[in-house]
Amino acid sequence: MSTTLHIRVDEGEQLHERARERLTRAERGEPAEPMEPVLQFEWLVDFDRLMSEPNLRLLRAIARHEPESTTAMAELVDHG
């Protein structure tokens, strides 16, 4: 089964407001809504840093080979 990772760049206050809303609902005992995986960034520069070419190569290698350990992962991209 495939899962889609959603990537969002929001201002910090928007991120915190959504988190506060989820916590408030949880404190009231309301059931949690199912959430899709989301990778959130406060600043676009942080997203850019993560999506650098070396990091993308690493992510592709992990997806393709599904290494069993960080050592095996490093060997895939010649960092071992």
pLDDT at 26: 92
Mean pLDDT within 46-62 = 88
Place of tokens 């991209």: 77
Give the pLDDT band (50/70/90) at residue 59. Answer: confident
Give the pLDDT band (50/70/90) at residue 4. Answer: confident
Give the pLDDT band (50/70/90) at residue 2. Answer: low
Segment holding 5, helix H or strand E: none
Residues 6+ apart with CB under 8 A from 10: 40, 41, 42
Is 11 or 54 the better-scoring residue by pLDDT?
Answer: 54
